A and B are shown apart, each in its own frame.
Chain A
Amino acid sequence: MFSKTALILLAFISVAYSQTDDEESFLFVTKQTVNRFIVQGKELTIKYGLYNSGPTTVFNVNLNDVHSYPSKYYELLVGTLNPKWERINAGTNLTHVVVLKPKESGISNSSHAIVTYQKSEKNTEVQRTYSSEIGDVYIMTGREYDRRFSSHVIDWILFTAMASPCIVFPFFLWFNSKRKYELLASKDKTTKKAQ
């Protein structure tokens, strides 16, 4: 009799534990850039989206992306590449924004960010997940970007300066001769009138 209840109790406990295993939370991390073009010397904005699917809170979330953007090639302007959150509740959709400035041009690869978190406050077992990656990107030089998008005012001023001798010199010649002939014509008039 006692063993039967013990068995039933054991069965209940095992089912309960297995159920909590199915209802675990998982943290999805996406990593994207909002830039259309990545230009050397201009801002590169990276957006990390964290989404806690699942019914429970995750604790001690740590995102580490320092290895993707070494300070030798990227300057950190805004934000941090190593943020941490103490808790992220179920169903929360978080964004973390980092602004960098590439120092060099060429092809660059940025890999996944590593995210570690704990499923419960007491259980210190650390879960590790990886964000999506942006992959290989082409960082264009400042000159390439300016050729397409800058306002070209200086270019036009230089062009005007170079084109002006072609226009001003003949104009000057014509103007001088016009003035000379007008003077002659007015002198003729006055002499004719005098006659």
Chain B
Amino acid sequence: MFRVVLAALAIIALVNGETCESPEFKVNSHSTRDARLTAESAAQLEITVKCKNGKQPGTLYADINGQVVPCAQTPAAPGKYFIGVAANTHKELASGRTKIKLYDDDSYSALRKARTEDATKAVKPFGQVELNHPGVSYGPWLPSEFFAVCTFGLVWWAAYRERSKILG
């Protein structure tokens, strides 16, 4: 009896130890900012996950615009997950903060099993990160040539006025 209890406790401990609990996300987000240098927009998120019990979540999946895709990892930096978002035009990548839901193996398999929309919404994601896209810039609103023309125009106009006064 005691052995059964011990085995059960061991199994519980093992199961708890394998999953990641209360994860903390550190996100490094980068997106294309210059619309004159780039023709399309692209963004990349680098996520570092820290779990309370020190375990790593394994594979993470991200929900981007309705499609759930796996996150990339690299052998050089374990614990870092990469998500890439690409848009065909600059307008398609929404500026501001976009929430991206993350799923780990368990929640992802639950998501796949869900058949109705309500069930899909009911699946609790592993976490949520934000993609911060400050928007693209097309350059300064008024080019510096405008100010140069205005300044020299003013100077010319003042001189012309004085000349008219002298001659007239």
A-side residues, CB < 8 A to B, are 34-37, 39, 42-43, 45, 47-49, 77-80, 82-88, 92-99, 149, 151-153, 155-156, 159-160, 167, 171, 174
The answer, yes or no, to whether B144 is at the interface (CB within 8 Å) is: yes
Instruction: Flag if B38 contacts A45 (CB, 8 Å).
Output: yes
Minimum CB distance partner of B156 in chain A: A167
Q: Decide: A156 near B84, CB < 8 A? Known: A36-B38, A78-B44.
A: no
Residues of B close to A78: CB separation below 8 A = 28, 30, 44, 46
Instruction: Flag if A94 contacts B84 (CB, 8 Å).
Output: yes
Residues of A close to B56: CB separation below 8 A = none
The answer, yes or no, to whether B72 is at the interface (CB within 8 Å) is: yes
Q: Decide: A151 near B140, CB < 8 A? Known: A35-B39, A45-B38, A94-B84.
A: yes
- 10 A-B pairs closest in CB distance: A83-B72, A97-B44, A97-B84, A95-B84, A80-B74, A34-B40, A95-B86, A78-B30, A96-B84, A153-B144
Residues of A close to B155: CB separation below 8 A = 167
B-side residues, CB < 8 A to A, are 28, 30, 32, 34, 36-44, 46, 58-59, 67, 69-77, 80, 82, 84-86, 139-140, 143-145, 147-148, 151, 155, 159, 162
Instruction: Flag if B86 contacts A36 (CB, 8 Å).
Output: no
Minimum CB distance partner of A159 in chain B: B148
Q: Decide: A84 near B74, CB < 8 A? Known: A34-B32, A94-B69.
A: yes
Minimum CB distance partner of B41 in chain A: A34
A80 to B73, CA, bound (A): 9
Q: Decide: A79 near B148, CB < 8 A? Known: A93-B67, A167-B155.
A: no
Instruction: Flag if B70 contacts A94 (CB, 8 Å).
Output: yes
Q: Decide: A92 near B74, CB < 8 A? Known: A34-B32, A35-B38, A87-B59.
A: no
B131 to nearest A CB, angstroms? 12
